[in-house]
Structure 1
Amino acid sequence: MTDAPSPAPGSRIRWRRGEVTGLGRTWHDARELTVAVPGDGAVPALAHPSVVGSPQVGDTVLLNTTAWAQHLGTGGYALVVAVPDRLPLDPTGPGHLVKGRYGPLQVTAPGVDEQGSAHHATIAEAEDLDGMPVVVADLHSALPAVVAGAHVTDPALRIAYVMTDGGALPAAFSRTLDALAGSLVGVVTVGQAFGGDLEAVTVHTGLLAARHVLHADIAVVTQGPGNLGTGTPWGFSGVAAGDACNAVAVLGGRTIGALRISDADPRPRHRGVSHHSLTAFGRVALAGVTLVAPRGLGSELGSQIEEDLAGQPERNPVEWVDSAGLDDALAASPAQLSTMGRGLAEDRAYFLSAAAAGRYAAQITLFGPPPA
């Protein structure tokens, strides 16, 4: 028998201890803080009260500053790990789904599909989605635009959001969801993601919950805020959008792909139709996805989109959707529109594309799919 390897020096987390000196904005289950950290100065931090309690000015807090120190895209905050001198109460009530499994901050949540849930029988007996349209996008920032496009078509449509675990795990991290509270019938967090109105083990049961528990007319599936990418063809968290499309197909839903389109992104692989969309929908999704492109982007970008989509498999039809009225709907969205630091004015094509997918989903909900 060989000796166990010695622990590596250091850790995978940049730990810091500091004192809360100020309280900032709050939304849903999130609270902004300013923390004085020796050697780092005044550090912006975020606490999720349902996980760590509610820090107050003067409290000592334990922080994970790893992403903040590396200036990562989702690293604008240090994250509160614990308020060691004032721990929250023990959890009460049902909930046996463990999320963030076997990490030091795993949490339990009541699952819509677990035994003991009031909805367990509904999910156990549900066989399909009854043809419900499901819009799949690879970035969380598409969500408010999809909702705007659907609701400008019919504001009475019931839209549910199924949040996957490719980005942020706590739904409460998303200020977009806080702003869309009156526009969605509910949020279902699946996989390792947590904090939605409903929790589910898989995308499949999350979709069934959206249809049969929330009674949604349309569901939207994206990862939470943030995106992990490596500049390689397959190394990006949005590849799971293709897996979500497969789940929709297995369950008898109508799969609609919200294309990631841009003429403002400085990276060539994301200009025109992003390689993320072409890979996830064209190579990972195996059962066919209706890809929606908006009219009104100008001849040059429109031609580039046509060229980019020419290589899609036959199973992925392309629908060009009229964009009249979508700009006003996007401008009126209750959620701030932002993708990779760009707003509606800077990256209109991106948001218009997502809104067109929402409009198409609304149209087939109301009138059925167009003739083949």
Structure 2
Amino acid sequence: MRIRWETAVVAETAGEPSPLHGLQEVRVRLGNGETAAALHDLGVGAPLRPGDEVLLNTTAVRLGLGTGGVHFVHAILGRSDEEGIDSPYGRSANPPEPETQEGHIMKLRYTSLQRAVLSVEEPSSPHHALFAESRTLNGMPVLIGELHSMLPAAVCWLRELAREAGAPVPRIAYVMTDGGALPLAVSGHVRRLRQLGWLAGAVTYGHAYGGDVEAVNKYTALLAARHVLEADLAVVCMGPGIVGTGTVYGFSGIEAGELVGAAHALGGIPVAMARISFADPRPRHRGLSRHTAVALGQAALAPACVPLPLLSAAAEAALLREQVRQSGLARRHRLLWEAPPPLEHMAAALEVYGQPITSMGRAWQDDPAFFAAICTAAGAAYRLLRDGGRDKP
């Protein structure tokens, strides 16, 4: 295990940072004259300003990684304590009084960045009583995905279906796992969805942090989405960044199978968003991703609803059918082969979002099957919600 440390000077800052649970974007100048982007966790130190000397963790960038592939500020150097380097409010300032007693659940435990959060389950939480007894999800549909980019696409299509039906838009909660980025603030999609008012709230669990609600594990996170945020439907997936090794089980998205079990055990209706692509050059992700086949075919120990698009291209449709047959998913889950929305309709729904939605750098025009699979699954979840869970797996 190794960490690459480098010092740098802040050259410029981007926008006005929020002192609460956010990240500040800066550009830094390293010792070799290189300039680069860096992120600064405002829960750790005061907002940066040009000229500040900082200690950077440059490990992921130097390894050329996509996941975590940015410099992170670990410490501010050369500022006195009187200037408040240890608090986003400054040494002499006091943080706003919390609405409830301060939390005692540590995230990023036993690291130099561990922090205390008010977990929804702990005794000092105003919601503690909800978790002191056994509860269920009361049949709530739970859309489960592997990639963070599935979140905005699914929300767009759920809203479009409600608009078409002339029905109220369902309350949608996002549950962020700790399989990818740990700070919720890293997600530009969550920022955008919050700006639009399209989320009832976000729950972060495990070592992920920064949600409207913090939870200890996936079970209480799902219950918090239902009973604290009062969601009609939850979308669950990791934050930005996924780990893969090219091996059968060595990828963080295998958690999707575990989430199926959690949603089922709690009396919810797990609906899996299959990862399907005919634009990804990697053989393991062509057609039905091997990640989906393993997560649902082997890691999932409970049944889920698995909606799959009826693709119009004959060769692609045939390959997908054969991959699904070989995966054995039909023996474990309820497969729904359905016609995906027309591309023009899907494109119009995504356009309302107002910002590009891409996966692995590809938009819907580049990889229509990927987005068709998401919308097909979101459509099934919407019907389950509308029909009160009839025909669940």
- Give the alignment's TM-score, normalised by structure 1: 0.92
**Which of 288, 302, 311 is the matching residue for 1:287?**
302
Residue 232 of structure 1: how far off its partner (Å)? 0.2
Q: Distance in 1 between matches of 2:16 and 2:158?
A: 29
Q: Does 1:77 align with 2:70?
A: yes
Q: Does 1:34 align with 2:24?
A: no
Q: Does 1:14 align with 2:29?
A: no
* Aligned-pair identity (%): 41
**Which of 217, 226, 243 is the matching residue for 2:241?**
226
1:48 aligns with 41
2:329 aligns with 312
Q: Distance in 2 between matches of 1:244 and 1:270?
A: 21
Q: Which amino acid aligns with 1:102?
A: Y
2:86 aligns with 87
Superposition map of 1:284-363 within 5 A: 284-310=299-325, 311-324=328-341, 325-363=345-383
Residue 145 of structure 1: how far off its partner (Å)? 1.1
**Which of 150, 153, 160 is the matching residue for 2:173?**
160
Alpha-carbon displacement from aligned partner over 1:3-33 (angstroms, at most 9, x marks no partner): xxxxxxxx72111111111112568722211
1:144 aligns with 152
Superposition map of 1:109-128 within 5 A: 109-128=117-136
| SS of residue in 1 equivalent to 2:229 | coil
Q: Which amino acid aligns with 2:34?
A: G
Check 1:339–1:104 CA distance in 2 against 1; reply closer, same or farther (3 A cut).
Answer: same
Check 1:186–1:79 CA distance in 2 against 1; reply closer, same or farther (3 A cut).
Answer: same
Check 1:320–1:177 CA distance in 2 against 1; reply closer, same or farther (3 A cut).
Answer: same
Q: Distance in 2 between matches of 1:70 and 1:40?
A: 19
**Which of 205, 214, 217 is the matching residue for 1:202?**
217
Alpha-carbon displacement from aligned partner over 1:309-334 (angstroms, at most 9, x marks no partner): 12214231111334333332123324
**Structure 1 unaligned blocks of 5 or more:** 1-10
Number of matched pairs? 362
1:63 aligns with 56
Q: Distance in 1 between matches of 2:264 and 2:68?
A: 35
Check 1:271–1:264 CA distance in 2 against 1; reply closer, same or farther (3 A cut).
Answer: same
**Which of 188, 195, 208 is the matching residue for 1:175?**
188
Alpha-carbon displacement from aligned partner over 1:321-355 (angstroms, at most 9, x marks no partner): 34333332123324531111212221121122112
2:264 aligns with 249
Q: Which amino acid aligns with 1:294?
A: P
Q: Distance in 2 between matches of 1:138 and 1:27?
A: 30
Deviates more, 1:20-29 or 1:52-61: 20-29
Deviates more, 1:75-84 or 1:164-173: 75-84
Alpha-carbon displacement from aligned partner over 1:20-52 (angstroms, at most 9, x marks no partner): 111125687222111111025112111121233
Work out whether residues 172 and 200 of structure 2, in 8 Å CA contact, stay in contact via their aligned partners in 1: yes
| SS of residue in 2 equivalent to 1:55 | coil
Q: Distance in 1 between matches of 2:30 and 2:182?
A: 25
Deviates more, 1:150-159 or 1:243-252: 150-159
Work out whether residues 48 and 172 of structure 1, in 8 Å CA contact, stay in contact via their aligned partners in 2: no
Point out which structure has higher relative CO (alpha carbons under 8 A, 6+ apart): 1
| SS of residue in 2 equivalent to 1:225 | coil
| SS of residue in 2 equivalent to 1:232 | coil
| SS of residue in 1 equivalent to 2:284 | helix
Q: Distance in 2 between matches of 1:205 and 1:108?
A: 18
Alpha-carbon displacement from aligned partner over 1:137-179 (angstroms, at most 9, x marks no partner): 1111111111112111115111101100011000001111101
Alpha-carbon displacement from aligned partner over 1:51-101 (angstroms, at most 9, x marks no partner): 332111111111111111122113442001122422315877511111111
Deviates more, 1:188-197 or 1:347-356: 347-356
Alpha-carbon displacement from aligned partner over 1:163-222 (angstroms, at most 9, x marks no partner): 000110000011111011121111100001000110000000000000001110110111
Check 1:33–1:297 CA distance in 2 against 1; reply closer, same or farther (3 A cut).
Answer: farther
Work out whether residues 44 and 76 of structure 1, in 8 Å CA contact, stay in contact via their aligned partners in 2: no
Check 1:213–1:352 CA distance in 2 against 1; reply closer, same or farther (3 A cut).
Answer: same
Q: Which amino acid aligns with 2:186?
A: F
Deviates more, 1:345-354 or 1:268-277: 345-354
Deviates more, 1:139-148 or 1:119-128: 119-128
2:385 aligns with 365
Check 1:321–1:327 CA distance in 2 against 1; reply closer, same or farther (3 A cut).
Answer: farther
Q: Distance in 2 between matches of 1:303 and 1:26?
A: 52
**Structure 2 unaligned blocks of 5 or more:** 80-84, 164-168
